[in-house]
A = this chain, B = another copy of it.
């Protein structure tokens, strides 16, 4: 039986009984309990269930789609997330937009950190849900069913009522002349509002998005304080940005 089949069956079992037991699965799937344990761990990392001693139980009532964390585990995003952590200090107020990169940063936070997080992203909420010392403010608005976040007039207005220490912006295109640009109009408006209300702005961007551009303008390049990429800054040539006073990490 393929591994994916096993994972599928485990999910089905959970949906049916709200729980699974290691030994049962081991017999049912014809693999060792070690393997089942590893399978459960994998599903647990994706947030699809909660691993407990002896098996697993159903996770939070939040739709699995809001927990799509499969894509936050890529090597690049892990590196970026790890680097971004250095800019987040206990006690701060952080604002972040939707997207898998910001979600990866949140997932990398130590579980006992003390923070206030302001976000319009449902996956971020689903992670922070059980961080005991993180206060979450969710920014309302119209649900964007593709991005798992809210946008629109209410969202922009709500953002203006906050002041954040740090703004974390998920992957976007950055060009020295064209500035920050985004792929959808609604999200670019949200990003702009978040930047305007924050003291310190960190753009998370894969290296190939630097010098690129997208259709919707967000802000000028110099509104950004730091750019975090997956590459070692000493091996990159981003002198233009450095001269403009932007830190490259």
Interface positions of A (Cβ within 8 A of B): 2-5, 8, 18-19, 21, 50, 52-55, 57-58, 60-63, 65-67, 70-71, 103, 120, 122-123, 125-130, 135-143, 145, 148, 150, 154-155, 158, 161
Considering only CB atoms, which chain B residue lies closest to A123 in the complex? Answer: B61
* Most chain B beta-carbon neighbours within 10 Å: one of A71, A129, A155: A129
Q: How far is it, in angstroms, between the C-alpha of A120 and the C-alpha of B125 when the chains are bound?
A: 13
Considering only CB atoms, which chain B residue lies closest to A52 in the complex? Answer: B4
Name the B residues within 8 Å of A3 (CB-CB): 52-54
Cβ–Cβ contact B143 & A154, under 8 A = no
Report which of B2, B4, B71, B137 forms a contact with A143, defined as CB distance below 8 A: B137
Instruction: State how many angstroms separate the Cβ of A138 from the closest Cβ of chain B.
Output: 5
- A interface, over-half SS: mixed
Name the B residues within 8 Å of A135 (CB-CB): 142-143
Cβ–Cβ contact B158 & A71, under 8 A = no
Report which of B2, B137, B142 forms a contact with A136, defined as CB distance below 8 A: B142
Name the B residues within 8 Å of A120 (CB-CB): 140
Name the B residues within 8 Å of A127 (CB-CB): 63
Shortest beta-carbon contacts, A-B, top 6: A140-B140, A63-B126, A136-B143, A4-B52, A61-B123, A139-B140
Instruction: State how many angstroms separate the Cβ of A105 from the closest Cβ of chain B.
Output: 15
Name the B residues within 8 Å of A71 (CB-CB): 18
Instruction: State how many angstroms separate the Cβ of A147 from the closest Cβ of chain B.
Output: 11
Name the B residues within 8 Å of A50 (CB-CB): 4
Q: How far is it, in angstroms, between the C-alpha of A70 and the C-alpha of B67 when the chains are bound?
A: 19
Name the B residues within 8 Å of A122 (CB-CB): 61-62, 122, 125-126
Name the B residues within 8 Å of A136 (CB-CB): 142-143, 145
